[in-house]
Structure 1
Amino acid sequence: MADLLDKFLHDDPTLPGAATILPPPPGTPDPLTWRVLEAVGDAQPSLGMPVAYAHADLRGTQGWRAQIEAAERLTRAGAMAPNRLLGLYTERSAAASGGIWERVREVQRLDAALRDGDGAAASEALLAAWPLVQAGELEVAMATLFAQPLQQLDLTPQAARLAFRAGLLSENYETVALGLDPERATAEERFLAAIARGMDPAETGRMPGQLAAAVALAFGPEPPVSEDMADRLAEGRLGEVILRILADLGGPGDPRVLANGLAALRALGLEDIARRTALESLLLERNG
């Protein structure tokens, strides 16, 4: 740090042989070191650093792509409002193609179709944009932005089914579920709608997979609560129980842990968190 501050205060790169080249700091530099390195011309990229460092890339001095990548990281972590990400997406026209630019382009097209109230264009744009949104793990953010306007348009059948599933990832998931026509819905859609309404899904539909079976158990007539957890609750260790549940639910997708965790959240009166956790567990595909 002393060498770095000396370089910051005294080095004059315009003088021959005056500039000092310092080795890169080991590990993750602290915020002060990181900003001083930037000030002396040895900026370290924020990609691969803790997500808090991504805020620095939102400055206007950074390129548009760097800003979008930082905004996506922060949005995935829940540290930035989705509307700000949309603002960056729609700031200008994407000049390049492939990768992140395809996602930008398709989200722009979807946003424009929704503003125009064009159901056919919105259907086409949604079907094209959603796989790219999934690749960026931004489904919840995009659902927050677009779920409500999508429900108000006359979409094609395929797009309507996708809009229903996307809507269940938004905070208005229960309203979306109430709008489902059970006569036209598939068994899987009826299952998801039952979870969104806090009902026993076994009475209305079915969804394949071990996670779905675990969710059905948690929302069934006899939800499982482990004896260990019941003992902690009896001792008044409510905070500890909640922290343990959240830690377990954030780990690998073990169906038994999911069933116990969801049942415990419901028993504690955290119904909204339980429903949203169940829906996200069923609808989001995560590999790590």
Structure 2
Amino acid sequence: MSDPGPAPRRLLALLLTGCLMAQPLAAQQPLSASDWLSGSVRGPQRESSAWRPGDGSRRPDRKGQPSRRAVAESGAVGPVQVTRLDQTNPDHTGTQSAHRAGLPHDLWQGSDPAALAQQVLTTPARLPAMQGLMRRILTAQLTPPEWTPEQATEGARGTSGQLFLARVDRLLDMGALQPAQSLLAAAGPGEPEIFRRMFDIALLEGDESRACAIMDGTPGIAPSFAARIFCLAQTGDWAAAAVSLHGAEALGLIDERRAVLLTHFLDDAFVNGEQMLDPSERMTPIEFRIHEAIGQPLPTTPLPVAFAQSDLRLNSGFKARVEAAERLVRAGALSHQQLRSIYSEQRPAASGGVWERAGVMRTLEAALASGDLRQALPRAFDEFRRADMTDLLAGMIAQDLPDSEDAETARITALLQAWQGLRPLPEGVEPLEALPVPDAPITAKGEALMTAMTDIDAALEGDLARAARGVAMMRAFGLTQDADLVAAQIALLPEISEDAG
């Protein structure tokens, strides 16, 4: 690409550096391990959010004149709009009520917001019962934590929305894109930190048009040059995309590696080229999509689990779809029935690994239809247990299993149904030790619940005494059903693990 000369460079400088980027919702880097989000729509401080080639806001109106802002025709007082002041704090946002989530509405009260946000990001939830509880916590509309007089300083108030962003990022860490998208939409895309997450989710879902529409419809939000160039090309304005890329390179506003990637994206000369571009060490959704667009798609297995959502698209191969679905179900981001449906899409094309699980599921589905599970259920149980996925099998079929007179089939049925909380523990399974419920008042409820969940997770490392304390604390919160289910799953771990075979 040739140098446009000094005058065009000066024009580009004016277009590209018109105003400062808006301040983020929480003035700091993302709090979670989802820092792969940060590269898609965050640009340098010099970047402009003014009009660029390809924007629709400067098109002439029907009379051929440039469109203008509406001007009042009189000095009369117009209609009054009322906005709740608490809407400025997204921490109150949720997609389901506290009652529906089965949580106390004042769960966050008495907790330090910063400490709570950190716990939301780091509290483990590996057991399926805890994954379900965590998802309800993240999406529930709860009363935001209040600042104490000591916390109510200007610096502390600068973290308003920190808990909200932590909840969204934890959902993204789980790969739960749709719940995260719904939570962001409920808060509105007006803040840069909210906007860039909405943009990246659209990219991860393979909906580039929606991602660019979000950008175009969110005034005052300064995207990165990579995102702007990408969207100019997506809307068909390839010339403007190329000029913007050259200008960004000339001004040093885009790094060399990303410039090379965008050049391959924009220049047809590279379509049939043999040069393979090395992926970034920290892959972002937009770079992931560009790699796909230039014919160099990347595997999602080594990437954060949210990228696995991309493999669920119908244009992905059957093996990739099954592997992605298994990974997402294990993370608590996809329903077991969605996985079951994907298993049934086609016959396995090979043997071993994911093909074996798909094969035994097809056989098991036929056995469920006939009512004879004596061979199919034990085989499926052994195959999923070898892969440490017995919980996935339970989630898919436990509710459909009939009573059986065959001893082995009846034993497996009892284990799978007890894992799902559909029946009491089978005989011979040692229940988790029941500890007395704490009766002391709990001040920082949210922090205490997160601590209890961390204690429960210790059961996976063999610390049953600590897990029992966590279960007792959950009962103190009135989460009896959750406590019963997690206690059952802890008790059943030795029965469904690979070592049990």
TM-score by shorter chain over 0.5: yes
Q: Which residue of 1 aligns with 2:492?
A: 283
Q: 1:19 to 1:90 in 2, by over 3 A?
A: closer
Note the residue ranges of structure 1 that are not aligned, 5 or more in a row. Answer: 190-206
Tell whether the 8 Å contact from 1:51 to 1:73 is kept in structure 2 after alignment: yes
Post-superposition Cα deviations, 1:132-186, rounded to whole Å, max 9, x if no partner, equal 1123333233223322322x343401110111011011142xxx22xx8xxxx74
Q: Which residue of 2 aligns with 1:195?
A: none
Tell whether the 8 Å contact from 1:265 to 1:271 is kept in structure 2 after alignment: yes
Residue identity matched to 1:8:
F
Match of 1:59 among 307, 313, 322: 313
Determine the C-alpha separation between the residues in 2 that align with 1:104 and 1:19: 36
Q: How does 1:102-251 map to 2 (within 5 A)?
A: 102-118=356-372, 122-150=373-401, 152-172=402-422, 176-177=423-424, 186=427, 188-189=428-429, 207=430, 215-218=432-435, 223=436, 225=438, 234=441, 236-251=443-458
Determine the C-alpha separation between the residues in 1 that align with 2:304 and 2:498: 20
**RMSD (CA atoms):** 2.4
Q: 1:235 to 1:278 in 2, by over 3 A?
A: closer
Q: Which residue of 2 aligns with 1:100?
A: 354
Question: How far 1:64 moved relative to its partner?
Answer: 0.8
Tell whether the 8 Å contact from 1:139 to 1:169 is kept in structure 2 after alignment: no
Determine the C-alpha separation between the residues in 2 that align with 1:21 and 1:70: 25
Residue identity matched to 1:157:
A
Q: Which residue of 1 aligns with 2:278?
A: 23
Q: Which residue of 2 aligns with 1:6?
A: 263
What secondary structure is seen at the aligned counterpart in 2 of 1:216? coil
Residue identity matched to 1:250:
D
Tell whether the 8 Å contact from 1:103 to 1:132 is kept in structure 2 after alignment: yes
TM-score by length of 2: 0.44
Question: How far 1:13 moved relative to its partner?
Answer: 2.8
Tell whether the 8 Å contact from 2:336 to 2:396 is kept in structure 1 after alignment: yes
Determine the C-alpha separation between the residues in 2 that align with 1:48 and 1:282: 32
Post-superposition Cα deviations, 1:26-76, rounded to whole Å, max 9, x if no partner, equal 2x3011111111111222210121111101111222211111101100111
Question: How far 1:22 moved relative to its partner?
Answer: 3.5
Question: How far 1:250 moved relative to its partner?
Answer: 2.6
Q: How does 1:66-77 map to 2 (within 5 A)?
A: 66-77=320-331
**Higher relative contact order, chain-length normalized (CA < 8 Å, sep 6+):** 2
Determine the C-alpha separation between the residues in 2 that align with 1:155 and 1:109: 20
Q: Which residue of 1 aligns with 2:127?
A: none
Tell whether the 8 Å contact from 1:46 to 1:54 is kept in structure 2 after alignment: yes
Q: 1:110 to 1:20 in 2, by over 3 A?
A: closer
Q: 1:155 to 1:58 in 2, by over 3 A?
A: farther
Question: How far 1:99 moved relative to its partner?
Answer: 1.9
Tell whether the 8 Å contact from 1:7 to 1:20 is kept in structure 2 after alignment: no
Determine the C-alpha separation between the residues in 2 that align with 1:269 and 1:14: 60
Note the residue ranges of structure 2 that are not aligned, 5 or more in a row. Answer: 1-257
Q: 1:20 to 1:154 in 2, by over 3 A?
A: closer
Residue identity matched to 1:237:
A
Matched, 1:86 2:326: no
Q: Which residue of 2 aligns with 1:204?
A: none
Determine the C-alpha separation between the residues in 2 that align with 1:133 and 1:240: 36
Determine the C-alpha separation between the residues in 2 that align with 1:21 and 1:168: 51
Match of 1:262 among 471, 480, 489: 471
Tell whether the 8 Å contact from 1:123 to 1:155 is kept in structure 2 after alignment: no
Question: How far 1:278 moved relative to its partner?
Answer: 1.4
Determine the C-alpha separation between the residues in 2 that align with 1:260 and 1:47: 36
Question: How far 1:235 moved relative to its partner?
Answer: 5.0
What secondary structure is seen at the aligned counterpart in 2 of 1:234? coil
What secondary structure is seen at the aligned counterpart in 1 of 2:269? coil
Question: How far 1:248 moved relative to its partner?
Answer: 2.8
TM-score by length of 1: 0.74
Tell whether the 8 Å contact from 2:419 to 2:489 is kept in structure 1 after alignment: yes
Question: How far 1:20 moved relative to its partner?
Answer: 5.6
Determine the C-alpha separation between the residues in 2 that align with 1:171 and 1:105: 27
Q: 1:136 to 1:235 in 2, by over 3 A?
A: same
Tell whether the 8 Å contact from 1:103 to 1:129 is kept in structure 2 after alignment: yes
Q: 1:108 to 1:155 in 2, by over 3 A?
A: farther
What secondary structure is seen at the aligned counterpart in 1 of 2:397? helix
Question: How far 1:282 moved relative to its partner?
Answer: 2.1
Question: How far 1:224 moved relative to its partner?
Answer: 6.4
Question: How far 1:117 moved relative to its partner?
Answer: 2.2
Identity %: 32
Question: How far 1:19 moved relative to its partner?
Answer: 6.7
Q: Which runs of 4+ in 1 moved over 6 A?
A: none
Q: Which residue of 2 aligns with 1:200?
A: none
Question: How far 1:255 moved relative to its partner?
Answer: 2.0
Q: Which residue of 1 aligns with 2:226?
A: none
